[in-house]
Amino acid sequence: MEYLQSEIIPKKRLFFILTHTGVNQEEFKKNNTIAEEFINNLPSESETIISQYSNYLDSNTVFVPDNEPKINCIPNLNSALLSVQQKIEFIFNKEISVVLFSNGPCTDDPKATITSIMDRGIKFFCITTKNEALVTLASLSTNISFHVYENSSKLTEYIKEITKNKIEIPVLHKISVANQTIQTSKDDLSISFKIFLNSNEHAFKENEIEIEILTNDYYYGQKVIVPNKVDCNTPYIAHLVLRVANNSSNYDLPSKIYFKIKVKEQVFDGFFTLDLVWFTGDFETLKPINIWVEGLMGNGKSSVLNMLFNLFTSNPEIYDYFISSNYHSHVTKKISFSKISDILDVFKGIAGANWPLFDKIKDKIKISLVDKPGITNTDANISFLLASKGAYHNNTHKDQMVASNKEKKEYECHAVIFVVSLSEIFANKAEMELVKKKTEEVIDKVNIQPILAVTFSDNFTETQLEAAKKQLYKCDLNVAKNNIFFVHPYINGETKRKIEKDIEAFKLLKYAVKVGIQKQFQKEMDSKDIQKKQRESDSNEATTTLNDASTSTPNEPATTNPIGSVTKKTFAITLIHEGNDFKIKVPQKYTVTKLYGMAKKKFSIKEDFSLNDEDDVELVGDFPLDDVIFEEESRFKVNIKKD
């Protein structure tokens, strides 16, 4: 079983400093000096609350560092601890420790209070200057950590030891996706949250453990109280369902999902990250799709290709299939059509990777990533019009970049991603013109909306990046704002995946697949339209010939009507949902119901909705479109109906 990466978040530290005033002024000063040294050597984010107690001192003279509020002296240790206990009731989400500075002896009996505080998971430390003091102080509890002060160096080492970033949570956890197949990002996510123990040191009764997944912009949260006992032999698995929020379409998948584990009175915060391989159902298509990745040399084309491919692997390692020009002076020298399923076969064989969804992805994902030589001034022989017809075949070498006379459907271009470096695109006007020329070609000759993947924005400050984005949106590259994606590929020897980068790649590929599906659909509709016109033309010619033959005399040859019957054009319809346009051509007899079904499928709409025209009039009924639409081009907006 593949477990999701998860982590318990270290809490901010809060130290209750309890300083014994001692039996005389000398001990009073000594304890204060050591306490001040202790405080000054704590990690920078640590907080302290200082109290002093006395068994002998009559005055209220107390030690308080300059940056701390003054606190009155408390009569004895137990009273000081009871005061700590009261304050703890109102402190949340912090790692609390009590540090006692004393040379003993203890004249009251604080054992019960110490035990009560420790039962809440609070650590207890005691620092003294006298070995003999250990005899009396050690009797307070066997779980107190003692340090006999000798010098500053050893105290510093002790502080480092007790403030290490180790989280002592009494229960362990593992989180996994409960589904056994890929799903879409719009589906609810089922997870298994396992709570278990590794030793018999702790055991918990029914209802003593609580698990809560916190709500975020994308998913609604869920809370469950563990109804069973939990010990080292009896784990508990909570089956949780993260429901997709109603407005999730306005947000990206979350990079982290936060949760809380409450064990008795202790609360531990944590998070887990999603493995996007489970959501590759977003890339499932009925027919094969070829996504061409184009770009200037050195702009990160191969890195973007690798980034897209890695979405289909479940290991934290990065797999490099497409070789970057930064390594070994490599330059792509041929057109290569790489099926996702074929690349997976290569790496599964090399790494022996246990990818749980390997077979599912191979069966369902029909995407090929197409790599080609980078754009240059001599690239005029590359025609995307011919590419859209399947005229460029796999392994066509750069020196032989001539379209084949035999067009193959398996090599048709359905979407194009242009990779550009943010730093280079403005610095080199000639390169910008090359990209502009290619985007124009893709739009005008092939009717594909180009996609821009912008790389190398890491070195920009936030202000510089915002300015560059505005300039990019305004520049004349023929790419709509919604089609521009900023990505941060894995470069410079990176070996571990980052969910934030994967989400960028996920959005890019999801959009490219949508464009590809739209192009495929449009080609099918155009093909059907051509076939229909051909059949009508053949029928008209046959009818005309028969009519002419029946009216002609034996001495007059039959004539053909050069005009024939008039055939209406198809409707060009644009469906709009959440800023995304879906452009189609449909036959004039296409029904309203079918148009609704197409919108629901293309935009993955789950809610009840209507299609409204530009005058906000709702399209209703099951009529043929030519009964309700009178323009050759129409626009309809998806309107989600409120409950």
pLDDT in tens, 273-286: 999 999 999 999 98
Specify the pLDDT at position 229: 94
Q: Which secondary structure element, helix H or strand E, spans residue 37, and what is its range?
A: helix 25-40
In the chain, CATH 2.60.40.10 sits at 172-274
Specify the pLDDT at position 252: 94
The span from the CA of 103 to the CA of 117, in Å, is 22
What 8-state DSSP symbol labels residue 619? P
Compute the residue count for the chain: 643
What 8-state DSSP symbol labels residue 381? G
Q: Which of 509, 584, 119, 479 is nearest to 277 (CA)?
A: 509
Specify the pLDDT at position 567: 39
In the chain, CATH 3.40.50.410 sits at 9-162
Q: Residues 6 or more apart from 125 whose CB is under 8 A from it?
A: 97, 98, 99, 100, 144, 145, 146, 147, 162
Q: Which of 84, 53, 47 is nearest to 67 (CA)?
A: 47
Q: Residues 6 or more apart from 19 whose CB is under 8 A from it?
A: 31, 32, 35, 50, 51, 52, 53, 63, 101, 102
Quote the CATH superfamily of domain 279-517: P-loop containing nucleotide triphosphate hydrolases (3.40.50.300)
Q: At what angle do helices 77-88 and 111-118 cross, to 10 degrees?
A: 20
Tokens 């398996």 belong to 410
pTM to 2 decimal places: 0.71
Specify the pLDDT at position 284: 94
Q: Quote the Cα angle for 629-634-636, to 5°.
A: 100
Q: What sign does the dihedral 312-219-172-146 (CA atoms) show? A: positive
Phi, then psi, of 427 in degrees rounded to 5: -75, -30
List Cα–Cα distances, 445 to 441, 450, 480, 505, in angstroms.
Answer: 5, 12, 17, 27
In the chain, CATH 3.10.20.90 sits at 568-643
Rg (CA), the chain: 35
One-letter identity of residue 605: I
CATH code of domain 172-274: 2.60.40.10
Q: What tens digit of pLDDT does each residue of 570-627 get?
A: 888 999 998 788 888 888 888 888 899 888 888 888 888 888 887 777 887 777 887 7
- Residue ranges, the chain, pLDDT below 50: 57-70, 327-328, 380, 545-546, 549-568
The span from the CA of 419 to the CA of 300, in Å, is 7
Strands 257-263, 209-213: pairing is: antiparallel
List Cα–Cα distances, 161 to 114, 125, 154, in angstroms.
Answer: 22, 12, 11
In the chain, CATH 3.40.50.300 sits at 279-517
The span from the CA of 195 to the CA of 262, in Å, is 11
Strands 47-53, 12-20: pairing is: parallel
List Cα–Cα distances, 297 to 330, 401, 596, 640, in angstroms.
Answer: 10, 17, 44, 44
Please tell me the class of the 568-643 domain. Answer: alpha beta
Per DSSP, helices labelled H in 128-206 are: 133-137, 152-162
Please give, one letter per residue, the 3-state secondary structure of 407-427: CCHHHCCCEEEEEEEHHHHHH
Q: What tens digit of pLDDT does each residue of 477-492 get?
A: 889 899 999 999 998 8
**9-162 CATH pick, 3.80.30.20, 3.10.20.30, 3.40.50.300, 3.40.50.410:** 3.40.50.410
- Asked if 634 contacts 613 with a C-beta cutoff of 8 angstroms, the reply is yes
